[in-house]
Each structure stands twice: as C-alpha cells, then as structure tokens.
Structure 1
Amino acid sequence: MATAISILPTQQLAVLNDAYRKAVARKRLKAACAAALFCAALVIAALGAEVNLRTLFTYFGNFVSYFDRILTLENGARVWTDFAEWFWGWKKWLRLLGETLLISYVGTLIGAVFAFVLNFFAAQNTSPAPWLRFTVRRLLEFARTVPGIVFALIFVIAFGLGPMAGVLALAIHSSGTLGKLFAEIVENADMKPVEGVRSTGASWLSCMRFAVLPQVLAGYASYALLRFEINVREASVMGFVGAGGIGQELVVAIRKFYYSDVSAILLTIVVTVFLIDISTGWVRGRLFGKETRR
C-alpha cells in the first residue's frame, strides 16, 4: 500500500530551512565559545602552575632513562634475564607486603564501622535533626579532605614509625570517604518501608534497622570492598613517611639508587593490586550480582 507524503509549500519550507540553519549556527557558535573558554582556562591554569613544555621535552629523556635503569641489573643485563637476582629479597618483600595488606584491611574495617555509624546522621532523609546532619557532614568532609599521607605523617610524629600510624590514617580517611558514599546510598533508599515501620510506633533506631538497612547493605559491602582495594595503594604510599609496609622498603631503594629493587617492588605491588581488584570484583559479583562489578 503506497503512503502519500505531503510536501510543504516552497515558501514555508524555505522558512523552516532558514530556522534550522540558524539553530545549527547558534549551536556551533556555543560549542566554539565553550572550546575557546576551555582552552583559555587551560592556558591560564598551566601558566599559574608553571607548566613549562620546554622543560618537559628537554628533560623527558631523564624520565625514560630512569625506567631503563630500573629494568637493568647491576651486571648490565635486563632484569627478566635473571629472576633470581631481580627478586633476591622476595621473602622480605612479601612479608612487608603482607604488613601493607593488614594495614589496609584493619584501616578499612575501622573506617567502614565509623562510616556505618555516622552515615545515617549525615543523610538528609534519615538524620534526626538538621544541626546534627550539618555537624556530621562537616566532620566527614574534614576526614576525607585531608590527604591520608598527611594524617600518616602526623601519626608517625605522635606514635613513632610503624604500622599503627598507617592504620589510623587509613581509618580516618576511609571513614570520611565511605561515610559520604554510604549517606548517598541511604538518601536514594525508598522511604515507604520507613513510614510503615514508624506507623507501628517503632523508634528511629528500629526504622533504620528494619526499613533502611536491608535496602542499603549490599551497597555498603560493595563500596567497602572497593575502598579496601584503594587503601592497598594508599598504604603503599604511606610507607614513604614511615607508616609501615612495603612502601618503606620502596623509598629506601629509591633513595639508595637500588634501581632493580625499585622495579621488583613496584611489580610486586602492581600485581597484588591487580589480584585484589579481580578478587573483590568477583566477590561483589557473587554476593550482590553482576551489576555491582565495575
């Protein structure tokens, strides 16, 4: 069956085409202005940050040559030609890596507990009072705004070198980050079950326990596992200021120019992070479904 297509009069069609061209021109002009503003802001930011492309290209060879050195053994051979020589300290490094993992685990666990306690007070739909929500949110902002390595440095000065400083630093920073994420999950929860539980005369704590928590528990666990993976990297860096773990050994190798040791330790850390990423993704998928995998 043939379908008739109506054709607009020439004059009306010309008006529509003209309006379309003007709309396209306005859109292109806006895009061009936005691109120009972006480029101008980028240039201003680069000048303010003293980014010098001449310096970058002049000394880029030093960057490349450093990677060449860390992939070379003392005898001049490449590191992959003699794994026994390359990973001569693997027992010590694995012990320190285990210490890093324990620091990350304990710090994440403590931070998750504090975040779990505070997030209900920080969420807009569950906080008992506006002043309490404001106070808790500012506290969480402070905990996650200050870099973890700064907390680690402070705790190293206070408690001395060792894993304790790293655990405390990770716990504070994780509580701020997870508290924010947990509160956002709670704010997206369905409040109808809360109204139903509250109608029975239940307390605020009972409403959180029986109406909100079952909805958000899977999200809590997923974010906590993701934070553990991040904290493994954080704990490695905190070792630079003496907060324990394999980071301390890495900074010693860097300072003493033990080039092949640097690459061996870095490879150990990278492989560990890869394995943790795969493992936590698998755990989240098995516990909460494939949609929780990144």
Structure 2
Amino acid sequence: MVSTVVRLPPEQAAQLLARYREAVAAKRMRLALGAVLLAGAVVLAGIGGEVDLGTLAANAHRLPTYVWNLTPPLALATLGRDLAEWFWNLDGWLLLLGDTLLIAYLGTLFGALGAFVLCFAASANLEKRRWVRFLARRTLEFCRTVPELVFALLFVMAFGLGALPGVLALAIHTMGALGKLFAEVVENIDMKPVEGAIATGAGRLDGIRYAVLPQVLSNFASYALLRFEINVRGAAVMGFVGAGGIGQDLMVAIRKFYYTDVSAILVMIIATVMIIDLVTERLRHHLIGLEQRP
C-alpha cells in the first residue's frame, strides 16, 4: 500500500496553523470562563445557603461514626445467632414491607390509569383543540410538580395515618409524571394508520383503539414498570410522614437511635428494591424486544 504525503505551501501551512492555534486559544478561554462562572455560582450558592466550612469540618466525623454504629456486631462463630438478633422483628418488618409494596403498586396502577386517560388529550397530534391540550398539560404539570411528601402530608391531615394517604400521593404524582411520558410517546407515533382509520369512518375512540394503542402499549408498560420501581422507594419514604409502610418503623428507629434496627430495615428495603429493579428491567427489555420484532 503506497501512502502519499501532501506538502502544503509554507504560506498556506502557516495560515492553517495560526487558525488552529486561535481555535485552541478560544476553546481554552471558553473553558476558563466557564470554570470561573461555575466557581462563582458555587460561592454564591454557599453564601445563600449559609454554608459554614468550619462547622462542616468540625462535624464531618459524625457521619462515619453514625454509619459505624449502624453496623451490627457479627462474628463467624455466632453468625446465626447474631443475624437472628439483628433481624429480631423480621416477621413484623416483612408485613410492613408488604404494605409498602402494595402502596407503591396501587399508586402506580391508579396513576398510570389517570395518565392513560389524559395523555391523549395532551398530545398535539391527536387533540387539535388548544384549550383542551392546555388544561390537560397544566393538570399534569401540577400533579408532577408538587412533591409526593407534600401530597402525603395533606392527605394525612385529611384522612389520618395509614396507607391511604400514601396511595393517593403516589397516584397523583405518578399521573403527572407518566402523563407527560405517555403524551410524548403518542406524539411520536406514525399518523398514517390513524389517518387511514379516520378515512374509513372510525371515530376518535376507535381510532385510538385500533391505530394508536398498538403502537404505544409496549412503551406505556415499560414506563409504568419503571415508575413502579421509583414508587417503591417513594413509598418507603412516605412512612416518614405517617403515610403507612415500613417507613414509619424506620423513622421511629432513627429518632430513638435504634442503630441495628435502622440498618436491618435499610438492608431489607435495599434488597427489595434491587430485586424489583432486576425483575422489571427484564420485563421492560422483553416488551421492547417484542416491539422491535418484525
């Protein structure tokens, strides 16, 4: 293989080299300017947040100390007894963890149903009336903008302690989040089947059923499964405000400094979330694979 080297005239090579150096200098200047702006923003945020570096340095040892206190005394010779003592309330915690999973499941189910209803009204390619799209989109924005904990606090005040406030809070926030995702999926569909259905005399509902749903159902299910993973973690936090689930026992253990109870509950929550993540990930990939088949 013969390679040829093209030699430019000295004047042209010098011009190109000068342009290259100018471009490199301009890029370095932009990077330096960005670094200065970032540093200034960090300083202003620290001042606005009243960050005290002295206090931070003086108390930095407390976090690793607290984490160390969470570690239960485990010895290989007495491992079975130590684990039994660590998870002394396993049956009770499993029941509360089951409540947390049910709260997440119902919140995801009701929220997904609400998102399914509103997403078609929020899609520009299906809903031509601007005021309908405006109302649907602003409703979804309100639902996903307000944090779940705020909704949970309001519902606890209205309905009292228990699982109901957690289910309602997760359902409302899930409806807002999934509604936006569902609407974006609907807006990216192929409109030719829809136009064909309308041309044959199909109404709005029939057009959605036969021309839209076959294109979007797998993505809808995938997003709903992903939201269920998020809601399991959210349902565990809901217990902090009295909205049911294992979070209530976790908050009591934290407030009373029951260190080993805190670590045991956290291990159970982490293990549960990991298992759910693995299972739902497989399901999502399976659904996406079905969609990609010819």
Which TM-score tier does this pair reach, normalised by the shorter chain? over 0.9
* Inter-partner Cα distance in structure 2 for 1:190 and 1:225: 24
* Inter-partner Cα distance in structure 1 for 2:40 and 2:187: 38
- Would the aligned equivalents of 2:141 and 2:176 in 1 still touch at CA under 8 Å? yes
Q: What is the aligned partner in structure 2 of residue 227 from structure 1?
A: 227
- Would the aligned equivalents of 2:74 and 2:83 in 1 still touch at CA under 8 Å? no
- Secondary structure at the counterpart of residue 121 of structure 1: coil
The structural deviation recorded for 1:202 is 1.9
Residues 79 and 177 (structure 1), Cα distance of their counterparts in 2 relative to 1, 3 Å cut:
farther
Residues 291 and 262 (structure 1), Cα distance of their counterparts in 2 relative to 1, 3 Å cut:
farther
Residues 290 and 56 (structure 1), Cα distance of their counterparts in 2 relative to 1, 3 Å cut:
farther
- Secondary structure at the counterpart of residue 287 of structure 1: helix
Residues 43 and 131 (structure 1), Cα distance of their counterparts in 2 relative to 1, 3 Å cut:
same
**In the alignment, structure 1 residue 175 sits paired with structure 2 residue 175:** yes
* Inter-partner Cα distance in structure 2 for 1:16 and 1:100: 65
Q: What is the aligned partner in structure 2 of residue 34 from structure 1?
A: 34
What are the residue-to-residue correspondences of 1:1-294 with 2, within 5 Å? 2=2, 4-72=4-72, 77-78=73-74, 81=79, 82-289=82-289
Residues 128 and 248 (structure 1), Cα distance of their counterparts in 2 relative to 1, 3 Å cut:
same
* Inter-partner Cα distance in structure 2 for 1:160 and 1:79: 44
User: Any stretches of 5+ residues in structure 2 without a counterpart?
Assistant: none
* Greater shift in the superposed pair: 1-10 or 222-231: 1-10
- Secondary structure at the counterpart of residue 120 of structure 2: helix
**TM-score w.r.t. length of structure 1:** 0.93
* Greater shift in the superposed pair: 54-63 or 166-175: 54-63
The structural deviation recorded for 1:248 is 0.7
- Would the aligned equivalents of 1:79 and 1:260 in 2 still touch at CA under 8 Å? no
**TM-score w.r.t. length of structure 2:** 0.93
* Greater shift in the superposed pair: 250-259 or 85-94: 250-259
- Secondary structure at the counterpart of residue 61 of structure 2: helix
- Secondary structure at the counterpart of residue 172 of structure 1: helix
- Secondary structure at the counterpart of residue 121 of structure 2: helix
- Would the aligned equivalents of 1:285 and 1:291 in 2 still touch at CA under 8 Å? no
Q: Which digits, 9 at most, give the CA deviation of each residue in 1:234-266, with x for residues without a partner?
A: 011000111111011111111222111011011
* Inter-partner Cα distance in structure 2 for 1:53 and 1:19: 45
- Would the aligned equivalents of 1:240 and 1:248 in 2 still touch at CA under 8 Å? yes
What amino acid is aligned across from residue 188 of structure 1 in structure 2? N
* Inter-partner Cα distance in structure 2 for 1:175 and 1:79: 48
Q: Which digits, 9 at most, give the CA deviation of each residue in 1:58-109, with x for residues without a partner?
A: 111111111121214xxxx348840010000000000000011001101100
RMSD between aligned alpha carbons? 1.9
* Inter-partner Cα distance in structure 2 for 1:279 and 1:216: 22
The structural deviation recorded for 1:51 is 2.4
Residues 253 and 3 (structure 1), Cα distance of their counterparts in 2 relative to 1, 3 Å cut:
closer
* Inter-partner Cα distance in structure 1 for 2:207 and 2:41: 49
- Would the aligned equivalents of 1:144 and 1:177 in 2 still touch at CA under 8 Å? yes
What amino acid is aligned across from residue 252 of structure 2 in structure 1? V
- Would the aligned equivalents of 1:149 and 1:238 in 2 still touch at CA under 8 Å? yes
The structural deviation recorded for 1:291 is 9.8
- Secondary structure at the counterpart of residue 60 of structure 1: coil
- Would the aligned equivalents of 1:112 and 1:175 in 2 still touch at CA under 8 Å? yes
- Secondary structure at the counterpart of residue 244 of structure 2: coil
* Inter-partner Cα distance in structure 1 for 2:53 and 2:219: 44
* Greater shift in the superposed pair: 202-211 or 87-96: 202-211
- Would the aligned equivalents of 2:222 and 2:287 in 1 still touch at CA under 8 Å? no
* Greater shift in the superposed pair: 197-206 or 236-245: 197-206
Residues 291 and 48 (structure 1), Cα distance of their counterparts in 2 relative to 1, 3 Å cut:
farther
Residues 65 and 6 (structure 1), Cα distance of their counterparts in 2 relative to 1, 3 Å cut:
closer
* Inter-partner Cα distance in structure 1 for 2:231 and 2:113: 15
